[in-house]
Amino acid sequence: MGTKALLIGISLFEVGILYWLLCGTVLEKEYFRKKDWVILYASTVGIGINAGGNRSLIFFSQYEFIVCVAVTCICVLLISGQYKFLRIIIVILYYALVALVDFFAAFVSMIVLRHEFKNVVYLYANSMVECILFFCVRLIVACCVYQIVKRKYDKAYIREFQSLLLMVMIIMCLMLRYYQIAIVSMMLEGREQEAGTVGLSLMGVMLIILFTAIVYLKNKTLEKEKELLIMRDTMVAQKYTELETAIEKNRQLSHDLKNHILVLKHFKMEGDYEGIDKYIEEIEQNFFDIKRIVWTGNQIADMLLEQKRILAEQEGIAFTIQAVPVAEWMFDDSETCSLLGNLLDNAIEACMRMDYNANKWVSVKIENQKQLLFIKIENSINEAPVMEKGRPVSVKGDKKRHGYGLKNVERILNKYDGTIAYLSRDKAFQIKLLI
């Protein structure tokens, strides 16, 4: 009875480690409601007791493994938040990895115990040796999970490698089935002496997978960092160039102001008031009006909002801004250019792709309540955009060079623990940011 309780405790520990991993990677525990915490704790207790009771009867059960995976997947899907498919991948990958490490520990035990293993662990699956074996494995797994959680990977960053995790998960499941058949046949045929060879092959395959995954992740990370730095520098330079262009045109206007006054006086003397109106309209079309208008209180944000408003209206797009002064603008200048610049450019470009006679509009709303910054950008569209991995797919020709705008926005939001949501409705597309 004592070892059975110990096995249940170890299984509770195992499920707890899994939820610790999920909360540190893809689950948004800061937004958990009471229902989510109930699901988390209830599933931990239920799955832990069931798995622990099963291990007191048999060393490894394929059906119990499937039941644990299925129940856990259902529970994590019921918890609020995004990244549903990624949650399932992590759950299956975790259980498969723990089971494979259990097998490796079993092969090592076979080398030490020889024929005794069958009686002490495999058949008599309620022994202290089995408890020690299971506990040591889960302690090692807990240390690995601690290293992952400590790094605080961005959820968007983890989602970038969803395909890689899926591939590793499939390989792990196939390996699990293979080594389960191997250990059963070894026990039935009394071939414990082969444990060293089989265990060595398992360790070799695991190391190869781990090394390949690390190299792949390292290369991908370096490649993405390089691309992001290039994109960031390019976008920042572009935004500042646009602002400099506006300032230069304003200087030209100031320089030619005397000549414009003389022309207007001439029209007045001739009584040509229609000519005065046309001349004023011509001046307005040729120059940017960059007068200092306070929307948020941040100079770069306000200049971008005003500049994009003018550019949109020149394209026949109605552009409305509802904003309040923000007490503490958290983004630096380059982040402000990337965040607002990308979102506003996307909204304006979406309107420009609409039919010539269509009703084109962009609406920007910025609110600041207590310590929360809320930004909503909405624009008219012809049809709802195609969504992939939770974000709109770029419709531009060169897919490799486009589509990084929203990724940059998401990375900035992750830096400040913000969230982004996309919504299509009634010929309109909406992006909501909460920071």
Amino acid at 239: K
Least confident of 120-129, 139-148, 313-322, 358-367: 120-129
Whole-number Å distance between alpha carbons of 169 and 224: 24
Burial string for 182-202 (b: 16+ CB within 10 Å, else e) reads bbeebbeeeebeebeebbeeb
Burial class (CB in 10 A: 0-12, 13-18, 19+), 354: middle
Using alpha carbons, list the distances in angstroms from residue 226 to 146, 403, 425.
28, 15, 36
74-118 per-position pLDDT tens digit: 999 998 877 888 899 999 999 999 999 988 988 888 888 777 777
| Residues 6+ away with beta carbon under 8 Å from 380 | 350, 351, 354, 358, 359, 360, 361, 362, 427, 428, 429
Query: Residue 290: what pLDDT?
Result: 47
Question: For residue 139, what are its two tokens?
Answer: 């302690």
User: What's the pLDDT score for residue 324?
Assistant: 82
The string over 285-300, giving b where at least 16 C-beta atoms fall within 10 Å of a residue's C-beta and e elsewhere, is: eebbebeeeebbebeb
What mean pLDDT comes out for the span 418-434?
A: 84
For the chain, state the CA radius of gyration: 31
For range 398-423, the mean pLDDT: 73
Tens digits of residue pLDDT in 124-137: 656 788 888 888 98
Residue in the block written with tokens 């002064």: 325
Report which DSSP code applies to 327: S
User: How many residues does the structure list for the chain?
Assistant: 435
pLDDT at 98: 92
Q: Exposed, middle or buried: residue 206 (CB in 10 Å: 0-12, 13-18, 19+)?
A: middle
The mean-pLDDT minimum among 133-147, 291-305, 319-333 falls in 291-305
CB 99 within 8 A of CB 176: yes
Taking the whole predicted model, whether its pTM rises above 0.75 is answered as no
pLDDT at 179 over 80: yes
Give me the chain's average pLDDT, please. 80
* Helix/strand/coil for 99: helix
What are the tens digits of pLDDT across the range 338-384? Answer: 888 888 888 888 888 888 788 899 999 988 876 778 889 999 888 87
With b for 16 or more beta-carbon neighbours within 10 A and e for fewer, the 114-153 pattern comes to: eeebbebbbeebbbebbbebbbebbeebeeebeeebeeee
CA atoms within 13 A on the CB side of 28: 14
Helix axes 84-113, 195-255, angle to 10 degrees: 150
